[in-house]
Amino acid sequence: MRLTDSAYSDKDLKRTLKYRWIIFWILAVQYLLVYFHRVSPAVAAPELIWTFNISGAQLGVLASAYFYSYCIMQIPVGILADVWGPKKVITLFSLVAAIGAVLFGFSPDFRFAIIARILVGLGVSAIFISSMRLLANWFRAIEFARVSGVLMAVGGVGWLTATTPLAFLMQGFGWRESFIAIGIFSLIPVILTSLFVADTPEKKGLPGILVEPIVYSEETNKSVIDDLRRILREKHFWAIAIWFIFRGGALFGFFGLWAGPYLIDVYKLSKQTTGNILSMIAFAMIFLSPVLGHFSDKTLRSRKKVLVGTSILNSICWLFMLIYYNNLSISGLYIVFFVMGITISSVGTIAIVATKEYFPPEIAGTSMGTMNIFPFIGGIIFQPLMGYVLDKAGKVQGMYQASAYKHMLWIFFITSLLSLISIMFSKETLKKS
């Protein structure tokens, strides 16, 4: 246990309490960029197809290249944060992401653009895990849930930034210039992290915050391989994992990529209006994630009921979109996309919490990190798959037709039913007592 050093005054302790928020907001800007890069291809999709003369399936490969390195690095970055310290990891990897964004803007061809997207994914892969590790040294356990919730809300702001603001920026300057500017801007939080962030208060000459002790025993000091085996052998883990693959497929495969072209091709909407509708996903994430958490903790006192209930609502939304695939009103699109944001994005934190509660505390972090891979597996699968489906239907005058997107909506409706079935086999983890 780390206690405040008696050599420090109360004034020094107040400096720690204030300074930690400076660190938090620097890291929050880093996390904002994580979500921005994750979904930005949705708005830029038409320009990318035209610039590189690629098919829909190839666009899916380009967008999903981000997830390849992101998935692979989820466990290694945790180890690097332990060995190097989270500050060094965040600084180095966020620099790689900034370079990747600039290179993406300068990409001369399709293959180079894929390499640049892989670099971006590699760079941002370390931000969340390392930030959580670092913030745990600056905030007490009783404060940590609130801090984590604010960090997730900032991620939603990053998603929001990749919709209307990005569309507006691209209209004024072009997609290449926009991504180059974003890459250059990304250097600012890199510099701020290097100058102002510290792994612990003591490294800034400040008194440490009282934190809970980390207890090591034979049970907690086992190898990572043993922990992974225990996690992967839990059948209820796979009920959520399968649910997450389909949720990630819908979130990244449709809303993170093909929803933009769908609104432009089928509804003939402008980029700005398209960005406004896509922003409903972000607003749902920002405002409803805490609400669903409270609903699970206090109202229903259940994880499974929230997951099953939102899954039923999600299937109803996909059915609604399938039936009215080309004749929804603009207000109807806003409403459906907002509800989809609740049932696909906002509810994800409940599933992660349920995963943690499947296992004892000593492997809770490993279980959450392992589960966090599956939504991105969904993105890797569904982004190019949906492009292939559209390509098979063919283009007319350079645009995919409404009937092509209807095939896509059929797939998402069916997978929503499969995810509903899967989550029904999960078990309740919140104890009534």
**Last residue of a domain, which of 160, 194, 214?**
214
The CA-atom distances, in angstroms, between 393 and each of 63, 403, 406 are: 20, 8, 10
Work out the pLDDT band at 222, boundaries 50, 70, 90. Answer: low
**Rounded to whole angstroms, how far apart are CA atoms 279 and 238?**
31
Give mean pLDDT, residues 255-278: 88
If one counts the domains in the chain, the total is 2
Is 390 found in the same domain as 251? yes
**Last residue of a domain, which of 186, 214, 242?**
214
The answer to whether residue 312 scores a pLDDT higher than 60 is yes
Is 320 found in the same domain as 201? no
**Rounded to whole angstroms, how far apart are CA atoms 207 and 14?**
9
Is 164 found in the same domain as 53? yes
Q: Is the pTM of this model over 0.85?
A: no
Is 245 found in the same domain as 171? no
Is 319 found in the same domain as 372? yes
Is 129 found in the same domain as 159? yes
Quick one: 219 exposed, middle or buried, by C-beta within 10 A (0-12, 13-18, 19+)? Answer: exposed
Structural domain of residue 91, as residue ranges?
A: 1-214
Instruction: Find the CATH number of the domain harbouring 229.
Output: 1.20.1250.20
Is 224 found in the same domain as 193? no
Work out the pLDDT band at 433, boundaries 50, 70, 90. Answer: very low
**Last residue of a domain, which of 214, 231, 266?**
214
Is 139 found in the same domain as 158? yes
Is 249 found in the same domain as 128? no
Is 256 found in the same domain as 199? no
Can you say whether the dihedral through the CA atoms of 420, 424, 427, 430 is positive or negative? positive
Higher model confidence: residue 364 or residue 403? Answer: 403
Q: Is 327 strand, coil or helix?
A: coil
Structure confidence by residue, pLDDT tens digits, 151-179: 778 888 888 888 788 888 888 888 999 99
Is 225 found in the same domain as 203? no
Structure confidence by residue, pLDDT tens digits, 173-213: 889 999 999 999 999 999 999 999 988 888 887 777 655 44
The answer to whether residue 77 scores a pLDDT higher than 50 is yes
Is 336 found in the same domain as 262? yes
